[in-house]
Amino acid sequence: MSDGKRNGQPKQQQNQKRKKVTKLHNKTPPPPTIEDIEDIVPSSFTEDETHKMRESLLKWYDLNRRDLPWRRLNHTSKEEDQSELDTRAYGVWVSEVMLQQTRVQTVIGYYNRWMEKWPTIHHLAQATLEEVNEMWVGLGYYRRARFLSEGAKKIVAEGGRIPETVSALRKIPGIGDYTAGAIASIAFNEVVPVVDGNVVRAIARLKAVSANPKDSVTIKRFWKVAAQLVDPFRPGDFNQALMELGATVCTPLNPSCSMCPVSEHCLALLISREDNSVVVTDYPIKGVKVKQRCDFSAVCVVEIQGAQQILEGNQCVSEFLLIKRPNEGLLAGLWEFPSVLLDGEADWFARIEAINGFLKQILRLNPKKTCHIVLREEVGEFVHVFSHIRLKVYVELLVLKGVTNDLFKKRNKKPYLGNV
């Protein structure tokens, strides 16, 4: 290879690319403006680049796609009846919601169990939120399950047809740009892009984007580039191929550039070959992680002896007190043992006072005066880690007897009582 060319490019063109390296590889770039982003992310690939990338990526995907239960090998055809389209759209919807914040291998089992229990949107619409939450246990982020339930009920109430376009899908509770694009392109062949974390990473490296990938202006640019790339004949497969590329090849820490079907178009790879101080994983830049907040909570497992006898006058069976959380916020709408957030670490006596005050305020239940305390003891403590909160939980067991009938009359008046 002559000195005048490298990777098949004239020396003059290489020099032009080198001039961009300093700006692209700024470790601490200033907050991007629209003008900055326009400079950093060119608005389009060339027509020839776009055609080659579509062709290469789809060919690679056809040979290497993972065998996942929500994928179909054939494409949408005019011969498919509406029920088949709706069934596929429903499956795509469920899978994409489950895949948010959850690993693929974890989702597979949940997806199969879900589709076995509720094979169509009509079956899901008949389920209660408690049933849906029970099926969701272990996936976390329960708001996703609630939105699926609410969305199914809305669609069935309005005729039972899942909308086929992004604009119509966006009107369904919990369906944002990403999920709408996935359903519309994969199930209904609408030529629209899909941008998730995997797509952001792939495009950031293809274009050597050094701007913050979480910045709203940058995200809009990613959507614009993805919209230009999406294949007009196989939009659903192309979107899945680009996501698959980010998930299996263009990974965060150890990308397999030698296996990448579009590596010849990757500016980050080109820069890394010309500048030893640059590596592909420099793109996209890493955002500053938000430090987890430390919270403390006192939880009281309240066992009421003789509860069944009070209710029905027969055998003496204990029941446990559950309280429903608010419909908004962390763990919205879920049932839990009575719990109180503490100002910080607290001793046993301070926690008892906090729990007693809570029970008295919410249920007019005063363990000291309105019933007999059979047993009260510390059970232990544990730490539960959420994405943004590190919650230390102190657990106690409180066994009561002689609780008045008034408490049990609240059984069907949420948010007070539920059975274990």
Instruction: Give a yes or no: residue 415 inside a domain.
Output: no
Task: Indicate if 163 and 209 belong to the same structural domain.
Answer: yes
Phi, psi angles (nearest 5°) of residue 270: -60, -45
Instruction: Give a yes or no: residue 63 inside a domain.
Output: yes
Residue with tokens 């998930």: 247
CATH, residue 250:
1.10.340.30
Lowest average pLDDT, out of 43-52, 173-182, 224-233, goes to 43-52
Whether the pLDDT of residue 32 is over 70: the answer is no
Task: Indicate if 91 and 156 belong to the same structural domain.
Answer: yes
Choose the final residue of a domain: 238, 253, 282.
Answer: 282
User: Whole-angstrom Cα distance, residue 149 to residue 286?
Assistant: 35
**121-170 tens-digit pLDDT:** 999 999 999 999 999 999 988 999 999 999 999 999 999 999 999 999 99
Task: Indicate if 200 and 318 belong to the same structural domain.
Answer: no
* Mean pLDDT taken over the chain: 84
Owning domain of residue 180: 5-282
Quick one: pLDDT band at residue 307, thresholds 50, 70, 90? low
**pLDDT for the residue 238:** 98
**pLDDT for the residue 402:** 75
- Determine whether 96 is an active site residue: yes
Task: Indicate if 234 and 380 belong to the same structural domain.
Answer: no
Task: Indicate if 234 and 338 belong to the same structural domain.
Answer: no
Contact 229, 238 (CB under 8 A): yes
Whether the pLDDT of residue 280 is over 80: the answer is yes
User: Whole-angstrom Cα distance, residue 339 to residue 309?
Assistant: 26
Whether the pLDDT of residue 104 is over 50: the answer is yes
Choose the final residue of a domain: 232, 263, 282.
Answer: 282
Q: Looking at residues 31-36, what average pLDDT do you find?
A: 37
Instruction: Give a yes or no: residue 419 inside a domain.
Output: no
| Catalytic residue selected from 84, 96, 381, 396 | 96
Task: Indicate if 214 and 303 belong to the same structural domain.
Answer: no
Instruction: Give a yes or no: residue 362 inside a domain.
Output: yes
**pLDDT for the residue 314:** 54
Instruction: Give a yes or no: residue 331 inside a domain.
Output: yes
C-alpha separations of 61 from 73, 248, 260, 320 in Å: 11, 11, 11, 52
Instruction: Give a yes or no: residue 413 inside a domain.
Output: no
pLDDT: which is higher, 91 or 306: 91
Whether the pLDDT of residue 197 is over 50: the answer is yes
**pLDDT for the residue 27:** 43
User: Whole-angstrom Cα distance, residue 400 to residue 384?
Assistant: 28
Whether the pLDDT of residue 419 is over 90: the answer is no
Q: Looking at residues 221-245, what average pLDDT do you find?
A: 97
Choose the final residue of a domain: 247, 282, 317.
Answer: 282
Instruction: Give a yes or no: residue 12 inside a domain.
Output: yes
- Total domain count for the chain? 2
**pLDDT for the residue 189:** 95
Percent of the chain with pLDDT over 90: 61
Task: Indicate if 183 and 248 belong to the same structural domain.
Answer: yes
Task: Indicate if 140 and 46 belong to the same structural domain.
Answer: yes
Q: Looking at residues 297-321, what average pLDDT do you find?
A: 74
Instruction: Give a yes or no: residue 365 inside a domain.
Output: yes
Whether the pLDDT of residue 7 is over 50: the answer is no
**341-368 tens-digit pLDDT:** 999 999 999 999 999 999 888 777 777 6
